[in-house]
Amino acid sequence: MISLQRIFALSLAAVLLWNCESKTPPMEYMPDMADSPAREAQEADSNFPNNTSLRLPPVGAVPQGYFPYEYAGWTQSLDALPNKGLANPIKGDLATLQKGEIKYQTYCSPCHGVRGQGNGTVVGPAPRLNMAQSDGSPMAALTSASAKAYSDGQIYHIITEGKGAMKSYASQVPSEDRWKIILYVRKLQEYDNRTAGK
């Protein structure tokens, strides 16, 4: 007579072999929450106070890779920026200047001109739009004495927050690229200094 242990062992072996060869998922006994119900994006879920499966970030959470600008919303003059704004953390090597030039030619040259003289294709010369700043003065030349006197932090603030007719470029130009543009603008200013008397 076959013992009860042999029957149990044969049954267990048959179940294991059946699960290995089956095309359907194996049977689970007590999955211990391994298969929790999934929620689709924006699906209603009454288990949470806002009745949605989307979770809100905690108050004060900062997205990864984002660094808040400490002078955001600064309404005083640029000269009142503490320490004239932030210091440029980027070193001016050749690759950085080339990236700065690409970004400058894309975002800045339409107004400020290819060489930073305020004569870009959008603003002048006449009979183009001949756009002026909000106070009526012509478009700012980045090679002017006042622009050369700005610190890197002040130029960064202008790109980030805007000034006069120029609106903020913070959404179009990442923070690191703004610093690279500033390095390129400094090279344009150096070139202007060398060629001013010629």
Identify the H or E element spanning 12.
Answer: helix 4-21
**How high is the mean pLDDT of the chain?**
83
Number of CB atoms found within 10 A of residue 185's CB: 24
Sorted by sequence, the CB contacts under 8 Å of residue 51 that are 6+ apart come out as 44, 45
Q: What is the CA radius of gyration of the chain?
A: 32
Q: What is the mean pLDDT of residues 11-23?
A: 70
Say if residues 135 and 166 touch (Cβ distance below 8 Å).
Answer: no
| Phi, psi values for residue 33, rounded to 5° | 65, 20
| Residue 20 confidence (pLDDT) | 61
Strand partners, 44: 52
Per-residue pLDDT tens over the stretch 72-99: 888 888 888 888 888 899 998 999 999 9
| Residue 136 confidence (pLDDT) | 52
Q: Which residue matches tokens 């955001």?
A: 72
Query: CA–CA separation, 33 vs 46, rounded Å?
Result: 20
Strand partners, 52: 44
Angle at the Cα of 154 (from 150 to 160), degrees rounded to 5?
140
Identify the H or E element spanning 189.
Answer: helix 175-195
Per-residue pLDDT tens over the stretch 98-119: 999 999 999 999 988 899 988 8
Say if residues 90 and 155 touch (Cβ distance below 8 Å).
Answer: no
CA max distance for the chain: 115
Sorted by sequence, the CB contacts under 8 Å of residue 90 that are 6+ apart come out as 96, 176, 179, 180, 183
Identify the H or E element spanning 103.
Answer: helix 94-103
Query: CA–CA separation, 112 vs 106, rounded Å?
Result: 11
What the chain holds in terms of domains, given with CATH numbers, is 87-197 (1.10.760.10)
Q: Which residue matches tokens 């990864």?
A: 64
Q: CA of 155: how far to CAs of 40, 49, 191, in Å?
A: 45, 45, 18
| Residue 126 confidence (pLDDT) | 52
Q: Is the confidence at residue 182, as pLDDT, over 90? A: yes
Strand partners, 163: 166
For residue 8 the two structure tokens come to 């149990």
Give this prediction's pTM.
Answer: 0.66
